[in-house]
Chain A
Amino acid sequence: MSKRFLGFCAILLTILLFSSTHATAQEDGQPLVILNENNIKQATVMLMQVSDETGQPVIQCVGTGTLISSDGLILTNAHLVTENRDCISDRIVVALTIRIDEPPVPSYSAEVIEINRGFNLAVLQITRYLDGRSVDKRRLQLPFVELGDSDATTVDQTIYFFGYPDLEGGAVQMMRGTVSGFTAEARVGERAWIRTAADVPGLFSGGGAYDRDGRLIGIPTVLPNRVAGEVLDCRVVYDTNGDNRINDADRCIPIPGLIRAIRPSRLALGLVRAAALGIQPGPQYAVYESPPNTAQPIFENLFLATSVNEAGMPVSIVSRAPSGISSLYLFFDYRNMTDGLIYELRTTVNGRPDPTFSLPPVTWNGGPEGLWYIGNSGTRYENGTYEFTLFIEGRQVDSISFVVGGAPNPTPQFSDLVFGLENSLGQLVGANYVIPEGNVIRARFRYQNMEPGVVWRFQWFLNGSPLAGEGASGTRTWELPEPQGTFEDIAIASEAGFISGTYRLQLEIERENGFELAVLSDVVVAGGAGGIDAAQAQIFSDFQFAQNQQAGFPIGLINDEFASGVGQIFVFFNWRQISPNTPWTYRWLLDGDVLFEEHTRWAAEPTGENFYLSLVGLPTLPDASYTLEILMNGIPLTREVTVDVGLGQLPVEAFASAEGVQVRGRIIDAETGQGIAGAMLIILRAEFSVEDWVWDESQVLSRAQADRNGYYQIPQLLPRGTTESPILYSLLVRADGYFPVSQDGIPVTDLTSSPIEINVVLNRD
């Protein structure tokens, strides 16, 4: 049969291999870039939350998302795909950009499969057609983008935003902007946000920000602006109450303001990885739920620090800063907060709004009370008077003024406050932010520019309330002659022993205008002595893995190795002396990479046995090494709590379904230039060439039929070779009334950009 193919000499085959339309740009003398604009546009989807309240599907909220795999995984903001007070919905509709310059077409419905409300990120899976039929995700073969390295982003770097700008049915758009800085935030740390000064429309929220290579480096994120709790811009577009009139009685679609903040793609990596592998967090012993709070949420005790330590505490507190500083963190205490509230920081410099040092409306996920910070590093603060104002639900709650400028002023200063145990000599042992229950809490701090006679004072707190009694507070006069050094003579003792909870030590120095805050830090008291180092608390112990649980006890195989194909794993452990509501963090790692990370609060009794967490595989957990880490105040409290499933490492092909090269193109008539409807393009498996072709399906890697305009798309990604050893593919094209054509040796390497277009011209027979 191959001879027959070769015998058709009058074949005109034009195979044009190129990455689909490349937009090129040359800016400021920088090298040309390759941004696969059309592919990104087609991978950018509009998400609509829809409800059937009146018997008809009505769009309640809209936003943007991005396809991150060919089998229909979508990355977006969590607030766009979860029901909330602004958006009552019962399903999520995905609209695709079929033609680049046309509005998106509702095509599928999707379900949330992974979510991190703290990061405001979610991953959806396309599951159904709009008529309710299930989707075979392996056959979707949708255009998608790859995640880039958001940590490599630099200030002034050009980035490209993709999204749907309005409700008027416009096409997907690209906007260009630059990175103006980075914002740090409690629980995430540095680079919690990438900042931009570009005027990106709010409906781009959930879409993508890309680097010059077209890799997704962030998710533009903003929530609707509010004034006194009410959405500022909310538009009535649809008849949501079914009265055949569109008026104020209908529910409106909230429209966010301009986007100034981008969630780095780094924070989405774990979610995406878990979604691709079909792993979800399973049942656990106790789940913390934010209590309903009727009291007014409060931000208070605002202060500024120039650096933050690993526990998220201020290293030293400043009341003004000299010229040239490049990092500043606004700290504040919060009370009566509820997860899901919207908070915001607005900053003015010399009275003018400054978006770089502001934080646009974002979702609160810090629990009811504690210490929080928002900051910037790597961006030079110009001289001037900075006014930081915090808002909750559009309501101004507190503000602080801060001056940057002038020469460094060597005033007395305290810094680096840490806590530890007391040894038999009354000396501090270790340096930590989680210490075991005992009779003494000892602290240590550094001092600078001190001189004898300086008056300072201290105050200890427990769970936000000042402690009373001997050693709980006091005012002292500095006596040490050295201007700088380490001070350890501060401790609080209790004969009955300290109960578990979150303690705080606050130090103040008397200055011209009275006492000023110099440094403070929180320390969690929990567990007993004997942690992973001499000075650390042992809170969690007796870890064991099991296949299942019944009535809170491990059942089934109990081991630290499980055979391939296990559907779930439970980890059980005992705990002691943890005060309810204490913040803690647990994270699952897969082969060393973070899969899930949950910041939560202790919801079980103070001491107990067989607390359990679990992972569920859909349908089974892939072979890998799974590790559990538990932290408090940023301090790891576990070591090597690991279980192996199967081989103990991910199979090489674990992500194969999401990697490869997409092939699409057009088959046209040589005479007319028109597309040939129904023409068939077959790609053979790499081990076969055209000469081997014997009409056996087992030789076929994939095949596709041209649509009415001659366009086709191969419903399977072509596995990549390497530059040194490319995989060579063969293809066959057949159509009724035309000479068939064939071609060997189409190379696909690790450098081949996806998709590739193969256009074929056929001659009539």
Chain B
Amino acid sequence: MRPFDFETHNADLPPRTRINSILMLLTALGMFALGMYYRNDALTATVAFRDEINGISAQLPANWLINTDDPNVVLRVEDVGGSGFNTRIQISIQTVGPDATPRNVIDQLSVQGPFQFPSYGLLETRSIRLGEDEATLIEYYYVASETNPFLETIPVVVQGIDLVVIRGNQAIIFTFQDDRRTFEQKRRYFDRFLASVEY
């Protein structure tokens, strides 16, 4: 015996109605598929970034706010549509000596961190490969709080990554920062960015 046994009474439906129902179903499925396609496209859409002066190019998430005016960084992009800390990807460059290693730069960043960010702490340091290059990465956290006393904003624990590669006498630092609660979920933006970056 079949687990479900339905008694059907569609023998009386005229063929046109049956075809219309099928077409409607197919249309709905098609629209759903199209919606999913556009949604995924919107979520994964990118814009090209190219900095001729520093010789860096990458694909950036679309609809993120792009800042190239800050003299301290090459690029900063932020997701300003979020609800809380704005997810951030950043490229900065430091001049280093000819014998410098990524680890030297990481040590310097680790020392500077507590002076830049409240409640700064290190989570992990490890070496990875970025394309052909050796890179060193640190994960850290700090507390971001609203400084305007007229606004009631609960501080956010921010998790961040600084990834350092050496290019000649320059250390290129790729940074990703996000609210600790959505860090893993949004890290794919950083991974896609790293996969596209050329320097």
Tell me the A residues contacting B by CB distance below 8 Å: 1, 42, 96, 98, 105, 107-108, 129, 133, 135, 139-143, 664, 676-680, 682, 695-698, 700, 703, 705, 707-709, 711-713, 715, 734-737, 740
A696–B62 alpha-carbon span in the complex (Å):
11
- Residue B149 CB within 8 A of the other chain: yes
Q: Are A98 and B81 in contact (CB under 8 A)?
A: no
A713 touches B150 (CB 8 A): yes
In the complex, number of A-B residue pairs with CB atoms less than 8 Å apart: 78
Which residues on B sit within 8 Å (CB–CB) of A705? 86, 146, 153
**A129 in contact with B147 (CB, 8 Å):** yes
- B124 near A: Cβ within 8 Å? no
Q: How far is the CB of B134 from chain A (nearest CB, A)?
A: 32
Known: A129-B147, A707-B153. A735 touches B83 (CB 8 A): yes
Distance between B18 CB and nearest chain A CB, rounded to angstroms: 35
Q: Which of A42, A133, A698, A735 contacts B150 (CB 8 A)?
A: A42
CB distance from A100 to the nearest CB of B (A): 11
Which B residues, 61 to 81, have Cβ-Cβ distances below 8 Å to chain A?
62-69, 76, 80-81
Judge whether A707 and B151 touch: CB under 8 Å. yes
Residues of B within 8 A of A133 (CB): 118
A703 CA / B79 CA spacing, docked (Å)? 13
14 A-B residue pairings within 8 Å (CB atoms): A98-B149, A129-B147, A680-B82, A680-B86, A682-B80, A696-B65, A696-B66, A696-B67, A697-B66, A697-B68, A697-B76, A698-B67, A715-B148, A735-B83
**Chain B neighbourhood of A696, CB < 8 A:** 65-67
Contacts of B48 in A (CB 8 A): none
The residues of B that contact A715 with a CB separation of less than 8 Å are 148
Give the residue name and chain of the B residue nearest to A1 (CB). Answer: B63
Residues of B within 8 A of A (CB): 62-69, 76, 80-84, 86, 118, 146-154
In the bound complex, residues from chain A placing their C-beta under 8 Å from that of B82 are 678, 680, 736
Q: Are B67 and A740 in contact (CB under 8 A)?
A: no
Given A105-B149, A715-B148, decide whether A697 and B67 contact each other with a Cβ distance below 8 A: yes
Q: How long is the Cα–Cα vector from A140 to B80 in the complex, in angstroms?
A: 21
- In the complex, what residue of chain B is closest to A698 when comparing beta carbons? B69
* Residues of chain B within 8 A of A142, CB atoms compared: 150
Q: Is the CB of B80 within 8 A of A734?
A: yes
Do A98 and B68 form a contact, CB below 8 Å, given A677-B83, A735-B81?
Answer: no
Identify which of B63, B69, B151 contacts A697 (C-beta below 8 A): B69
CB < 8 Å: which of A42, A141, A682 contacts B148? A141
Task: Report how far A735 CA is from B152 CA in the complex, Å.
Answer: 18
Contact A680 B81 (CB under 8 A): yes
Whole-angstrom CA separation of A695 from B81 in the bound complex: 12
CA–CA, A676 and B65, complex, Å: 20
Q: A637 CA to B149 CA in the complex, in Å? A: 50
Identity of the chain B residue whose Cβ is nearest the Cβ of A139 in the assembled complex: B147
A736 to chain B, nearest CB (A): 4
A713 vs B65: C-alpha distance when bound (angstroms): 19
Please measure, in the bound complex, the distance between the C-alpha atom of A1 and the C-alpha atom of B44, giving whole angstroms.
16
Neighbouring B residues of A107 by C-beta, 8 Å: 149
Indicate which residue in B80, B146, B148, B153 contacts A680 across the interface (CB closer than 8 Å).
B80
User: Complex: how many Å from CA A592 to CA B68?
Assistant: 42
Q: Which residue of B lies closest to A675 (CB)?
A: B152
Task: Verify B152–A736 contact, CB threshold 8 A.
Answer: no
C-alpha gap A140/B150 in the complex (Å): 10
Report the bound CA distance from A108 to B118 in whole Å: 17
Q: A135–B62 Cα gap in the complex (Å)?
A: 34
A695 to B75, CA, bound (A): 13
Tell me, in angstroms, the Cα distance from A698 to B67 when the chains sit together: 7
Residues of chain A within 8 A of B76, CB atoms compared: 697
CA distance in complex: A543, B103 (Å):
61
Q: How far is the CB of B82 from chain A (nearest CB, A)?
A: 6
What chain A residues lie within 8 Å of B66 (beta carbons)? Answer: 695-697
Question: Which chain B residue has the least Cβ–Cβ distance from A678?
Answer: B83
A414–B113 CA distance with the chains assembled, in angstroms: 79
Residues from chain A with Cβ under 8 Å of B86 in the complex? 680, 705
A133 CA to B117 CA, complexed, in Å: 11
Contact B64 A695 (CB under 8 A): yes
B contact residues around A141 at 8 Å (CB): 148
Bound together, the chains give a CA A98 to CA B153 distance in angstroms of: 13
CA distance in complex: A129, B148 (Å): 11
Question: In the assembled complex, how far is the CB of residue A762 from the closest CB belonging to chain B, in whole angstroms?
Answer: 12
Q: How far is the CA of A458 from the CA of B118 in the complex (A)?
A: 76
